[in-house]
Homo-oligomer: A and B are copies of this chain.
């Protein structure tokens, strides 16, 4: 009962803030041994609770530019003056050895991955169950002003407006169900013919005469 070798896939999760993406990412990597979260490089300062190489690869702006110029980022972005990028090599090594990589990125990062890695990409968008629930989750503190909440809602609306650029849509009514749905997407995508690179050889063993 040999296993058919396959190429890994890149699972992209995007959602507005407050739709449960971080929880789902953690659940997925905790329960599935064959998928790991992609670790980004960043120029921002390390926070006390962060570990270099686990949370991020912390690099200087000069080093970041070097990597960028080498074409060694799969995607990159500047957020609040800090640079973030996905190093290409660890992802390519994982895919070549049949391991899957999870990306928690926004629609802009997803569009960049689409350019460099289309065939390996599985794009999933998580929607909140309702506008009221989204607003409740964005109103993190009782003293948040109407303006602060409105600004967060505007940002959420901007992210949501890109839902149609994704392959799969999960409405996160219930995190356990959403997790199962995400697992079914991962299981199914692993069974896609074009990812199962060992099939040609396996079929030859069935039909040799």
* Interface residue ranges, A against B (CB under 8 Å): 1, 4, 125, 127-131, 134, 157, 160-161, 163-164, 166-171, 173, 180-181, 183-185, 187-189, 191-193, 196, 199, 202-203, 205-209
Contact = CB atoms under 8 A, between A and B. Distances in A.
A187 B177 CA distance: 12
A167 B173 CA distance: 30
Nearest to A193: B169
A47 B168 CA distance: 44
Nearest to A4: B171
Given A187-B181, A191-B185, A202 B168 contact: no
A184 B205 CA distance: 27
Contact of A188 (B127, B171, B184, B196): B184
Given A169-B199, A171-B202, 17 more contacts: A1-B129, A4-B171, A128-B206, A130-B205, A131-B207, A157-B207, A157-B209, A161-B207, A163-B199, A163-B203, A166-B193, A169-B191, A181-B187, A184-B184, A185-B187, A188-B188, A188-B189
A206 B168 contact: no
A88 to B, nearest CB: 27
B171 A192 contact: no
A179 to B, nearest CB: 12
Contacts of A183: 184
29 contacts: A1-B173, A4-B171, A127-B202, A127-B206, A128-B206, A131-B206, A131-B207, A131-B208, A134-B206, A157-B206, A157-B207, A157-B209, A160-B203, A160-B207, A161-B207, A163-B193, A163-B199, A164-B193, A167-B192, A169-B193, A169-B196, A169-B199, A171-B202, A181-B187, A181-B188, A183-B184, A184-B184, A187-B188, A188-B188
